[in-house]
Amino acid sequence: MLVNGIDVSKLQYERKTLVIPVVKDRTVHIDGDFLAYMVAYDNTKSLKEMEKSCDFKAEKIRLMCGAEHVVIHLTPKESNKGHRYALALLREYQTNRKGKIKPKFLHIVRAYMHKAFGGIQHVNCEADDGMAMAQYKAIAEGKRNLSVIATKDKDLTMVPGLQVDWDTGVITDTKDDFGYIRLDDSKSTKKIRGRGTKMFWAQMLTGDAADNISGLPMCCDLQYLPRGKYKSIGPVLAYEVLKDITSDKEAFRVVRSLYNMYNAAANEKDSGMPPFTNWRDGTPITAGQALVSEAQLLWMRRSVDPRDVINWMTEKCL
């Protein structure tokens, strides 16, 4: 059977993909950056094959979401990425991506998606931010059921509202915007999984290696409070810190305290712990400056304003 020129019978291959009835006026916001890499990765394919693959995958996601409309979000080469390079204090933003070879036809596939789908080129933020903004806008307008995010990027799990599993078509939401976290120990390397802003607070502790974001370098082991024995923070310790917290206000208080405690301990004589410093010139920065910088890098924005997370913290946490 053909739908919009796509043979949907082929959508039933791999992992029992779900296809649900269309919901009137529902829009799925697709991570075009990921889709472009996914399609362009095999450079043995012709450009025509890549274009057809874009069409097929976008239609598959639309059908999985029961969406009437598709919006593809892209981060063009000229994007300032929300000024994150300037906002980064502890480490240079995304420096770990320099020199990596990109798929040969990546820019051509991006251009095709922009033309074929009217894809949005986000020059003042990242595609992730664009999807977050669209979702927040729909929720604010009382249309929570009419906006779905489709991505494999864990960063967007902090955004409330509907999100679809790229592989299975399962759509999830949270009971509240704060959400939840869990420790995934199914593989040798443990990871934190979850939804809602509780995931944001988890990343404020663990950072994000994919974007070279530091997070809190070390954390005071809860077993030794108030003596202050510190150890490297990873998913397990971050989960222990946050697992029983039930609000953004409480999470902010705890995370801010840990940033303050770390920097105070690091500035003690012979601590052996590096204090917070600006990666550009090594000048000292305060715990507050470090916390705000990390938040601005990690936060999926409600607007293009780099201060959006500061405004959000003021609203929700103070």
Does residue 14 sit in helix, strand or coil? Answer: coil
The arithmetic mean of pLDDT across residues 241-264, rounded, is 95
- pLDDT for the residue numbered 223: 61
Dihedral over Cα of 44, 50, 56, 61: its sign? positive
**pLDDT, tens digit, 9 for 90 and up, residues 10-41:** 444 444 567 889 999 999 999 999 999 999 99
Structural Rg of the chain based on CA atoms:
21
CB-based contact 90:293 (threshold 8 Å): yes
Tell me the CATH class for 24-172: alpha beta
Residue 250 has pLDDT above 50, yes or no: yes
Q: Which residues of 111-148 are buried (b: 16+ CB within 10 A; e: fewer)?
A: bbbbeebebbbbeebbbbbbbbbbbbebbeeeeeebbb
**pLDDT, tens digit, 9 for 90 and up, residues 289-304:** 999 999 999 999 999 9
Mean of per-residue pLDDT scores for the chain = 90
Taking phi over 0 as left and psi of -120 to 50 as alpha, with beta for the rest, 70 belongs to: beta
**pLDDT, tens digit, 9 for 90 and up, residues 106-145:** 999 999 999 999 999 999 999 999 999 999 999 999 999 9
Q: Write the CB contacts of 44 (distance below 8 Å, at least 6 apart in sequence).
A: none
Q: Phi then psi for 170, rounded to 5 degrees?
A: -70, 125
The whole-angstrom separation of Cα 205 and Cα 254 is 11
Q: Which amino acid is at 42?
A: D
DSSP 156-194: GGGS-SEEE-TTT--EE--SSTT-EEEEE-SSSS-EEEE
Neighbours of 223 (CB within 10 A): 9
CB-based contact 20:67 (threshold 8 Å): no
Q: Looking up tokens 């664009």, which residue turns up? A: 130
- pLDDT for the residue numbered 162: 97
In eight-state DSSP terms, residue 208 is B
Does residue 20 sit in helix, strand or coil? Answer: coil
Query: Is residue 226 reached through a cis peptide bond, with omega within 30 degrees of 0 on the bond before it?
Result: yes
The whole-angstrom separation of Cα 39 and Cα 112 is 12
**pLDDT, tens digit, 9 for 90 and up, residues 184-227:** 998 888 999 999 999 999 999 999 999 999 999 988 766 655 55
At 135, which helix (H) or strand (E)? helix 127-140
> Per the structure block, which two tokens stand in for 96?
């770990």
Does residue 112 sit in helix, strand or coil? Answer: helix
> Per the structure block, which two tokens stand in for 84?
């994150």
Domain boundaries, the chain: 24-172, 180-316
Percent of the chain past pLDDT 70, that is, above it, reads 92
Does residue 283 sit in helix, strand or coil? Answer: coil
User: pTM of this prediction?
Assistant: 0.91
The arithmetic mean of pLDDT across residues 230-254, rounded, is 93
